[in-house]
Amino acid sequence: MKKKLVFLYLSLMFSTVRGQYPAALPSSGAISVKAISDWMLTAGEITAGTYSISDLNNKSHLTDKTAPYSLSDWYGYGAIPFTSCGNSFSVAHYAGSVSPVSKLITYTTVSTNVSGTTKCWITQNLGAEHSATSVNDATAASGGWYWQFNRAQGIKVGDDGIITPTSWYTSITENSDWTAANDPCTLLLGSGWRMPTYSEWVTVGNNAAFGSTALSYTSVLKLHGAGFSYSGSTFVLTNRGYNLSTWSSTQADATTGWEASDQGSHQPLLYNVPKGCAMPLRCLK
81 against 279, higher pLDDT: 279
Query: What are the sequence ranges of the domains in the chain?
Result: 1-81, 97-274
Indicate whether 84 pLDDT > 50. yes
Q: How confident is residue 79, by pLDDT bands cut at 50, 70 and 90?
A: low
Give the residue among 130, 139, 166, 186 at the shortest CA–CA distance from 278: 166
pLDDT at 262: 76
> What are the strands, taking DSSP E only, across the chain?
28-31, 34-35, 44-45, 67-70, 89-93, 103-107, 109-112, 119-122, 156-157, 163-164, 245-251, 256-261, 269-274
**For residue range 41-74, what is the model confidence (pLDDT) as tens digits?**
333 333 333 333 333 333 333 333 444 433 333 3
Q: Which residues pair with 251 in a beta bridge?
A: 257
pLDDT at 265: 56
Indicate whether 85 pLDDT > 50. yes
254 Cβ contact partners less than 8 Å away, ≥ 6 residues apart: 173, 174, 175
The amino acid occupying position 111 is S
pLDDT at 205: 85
Cβ contact 102:94 at 8 Å: yes
158 against 262, higher pLDDT: 158
**For residue range 25-35, what is the model confidence (pLDDT) as tens digits?**
344 444 444 33
**For residue range 220-247, what is the model confidence (pLDDT) as tens digits?**
999 998 888 876 656 677 778 777 889 9
**For residue range 133-157, what is the model confidence (pLDDT) as tens digits?**
998 898 999 999 999 999 999 999 9
| Dihedral class, residue 139 (left if φ above 0, else alpha if ψ from -120 to 50, else beta) | beta
Q: Peptide bond before 165: cis, by omega within 30 degrees of 0?
A: yes
Indicate whether 38 pLDDT > 70. no
Using alpha carbons only, how large is the chain's radius of gyration in Å? 20
Give the residue among 157, 263, 255 at the shortest CA–CA distance from 273: 255
Query: How many Cβ atoms from other residues are within 10 Å of residue 56's Cβ?
Result: 19
Indicate whether 109 pLDDT > 50. yes
pLDDT at 62: 38
274 against 161, higher pLDDT: 274
Question: Is 0.85 topped by the overall pTM?
Answer: no
Q: How far apart are CA 158 and CA 140, in angstroms?
A: 6
Lowest mean pLDDT among 72-86, 93-107, 136-150: 72-86
Indicate whether 118 pLDDT > 70. yes
Query: How many Cβ atoms from other residues are within 10 Å of residue 41's Cβ?
Result: 20
pLDDT at 267: 59
**For residue range 163-218, what is the model confidence (pLDDT) as tens digits?**
878 788 889 999 999 999 999 999 999 999 999 999 999 999 888 667 677 778 88
